[in-house]
Amino acid sequence: MTGTSGRTGTASAHKIDLAAALFCTLGAQLPHRAELEEEAAAMAASIGSRSGTLTKILELCEGAETPQALYLSAKACAWLGSGYRGRTVELGARYLLGAPWDALPDGVAEEDGVRVDRRAAVRADLLRDMAQAELILGKTSDAHSHSMEACRLEPHNAMNYVKAAEAVEKRSGIEEALRFLREQRKNLYYAPVKYRDAGGRLCSNEVFRDQLNAAIRKLELRSGEKHRAEV
């Protein structure tokens, strides 16, 4: 089930469903109709390139205003990158303002000891795409705002704070970005999360701490290089 809904006819719905299956040929993990996989694989093979396949996804979704079409288009633009960053922001914002694509993950699940709101995680992922595009477009305040909204939606994901720090650095400099990241060591998820896996073994989830500290070390190295260059 793909959850196609909104203003679209049967032919358009098929094209959008095909776009979802086509995206999966590139490794995307998306809801799609299994019966369209063969058609999508043949189409991807005939196109022959990643960028061409992503452009085809946009073409298949063109003119449709359903949540599915908006989501697929926003993600395709994010994957395309250069030349599509303005559309990444525009389409991502349009998706976030409307109803969600109902086939995307929903509900709350436990992942390695952390309770994850899957719908919030989808929204945070789009916000990271938007923030990345905005940083490159020079829209630093918007990038910071969207990164912080991703942090609010998904506080257990250190990469949201890393993305926010990139905006802080552009706006206020590397030392302020370091201060911001070090402050996140007070985050509830910085401490290792103890949980038992499916086999009953006691495990420790240290992903947040590891990702945050890696980002801090990277900035500290760059900060040190900057200070040495100024001496």
pLDDT in tens, the chain (231 residues): 444 444 455 558 999 999 999 999 999 999 999 999 999 999 999 999 999 999 999 999 999 999 999 999 999 999 999 999 999 999 999 999 999 999 999 999 999 999 999 999 999 999 999 999 999 999 999 999 999 999 999 999 999 999 999 999 999 999 999 999 999 999 999 999 999 999 999 999 999 999 999 999 999 999 987 666 765
Looking at residue 227, what is its pLDDT?
66
pLDDT at residue 231, as a whole number: 53
Q: What is the pLDDT of residue 4?
A: 47
pLDDT of residue 70: 98
Give percent of the chain above pLDDT 70: 93
| Per-residue pLDDT reduced to its tens digit, 64-110 | 999 999 999 999 999 999 999 999 999 999 999 999 999 999 999 99
Rounded Cα distance between 15 and 69, Å, is: 10
Query: How high is the pLDDT of residue 228?
Result: 67
Question: In 3D, which of 173, 175, 179 has the Cα closest to residue 161?
Answer: 179
User: How many other C-beta atoms can be found within 10 angstroms of the C-beta atom of residue 104?
Assistant: 18
* pLDDT at site 58: 98
How many alpha carbons fall within 13 Å on the CB side of residue 48? 1
Residue 2's pLDDT is 47
The 3-class SS string of the chain reads CCCCCCCCCHHHHHHHHHHHHHHHCCCCCCCCCHHHHHHHHHHHHHHCCHHHHHHHHHHHHCCCCCHHHHHHHHHHHHHHCCCCHHHHHHHHHHHHHCCCCCCCCCCEEEECCEEEEHHHHHHHHHHHHHHHHHHHHCCHHHHHHHHHHHHHHCCCCHHHHHHHHHHHHHHHCHHHHHHHHHHHHHCHHHCCEEEECCCCCEEEECHHHHHHHHHHHHHHHHHHHHHHHHC
Side chain identity, residue 120: A
Structure tokens at 69: 């079409």
Say if residues 40 and 24 touch (Cβ distance below 8 Å).
yes
Is the separation of the CB atoms in 17 and 37 below 8 Å? no
Tell whether domain 108-230 is in CATH 1.10.3720.10: no
Cα(22)–Cα(53) distance, integer angstroms: 7
User: Domain residue spans in the chain?
Assistant: 10-97, 108-230
d(CA 160, CA 124): 8
- The pTM assigned to this predicted structure is 0.90
What pLDDT, on the 0 to 100 scale, is given for residue 201? 96
Please, what sign has the CA dihedral across residues 109, 112, 115, 116?
Answer: negative
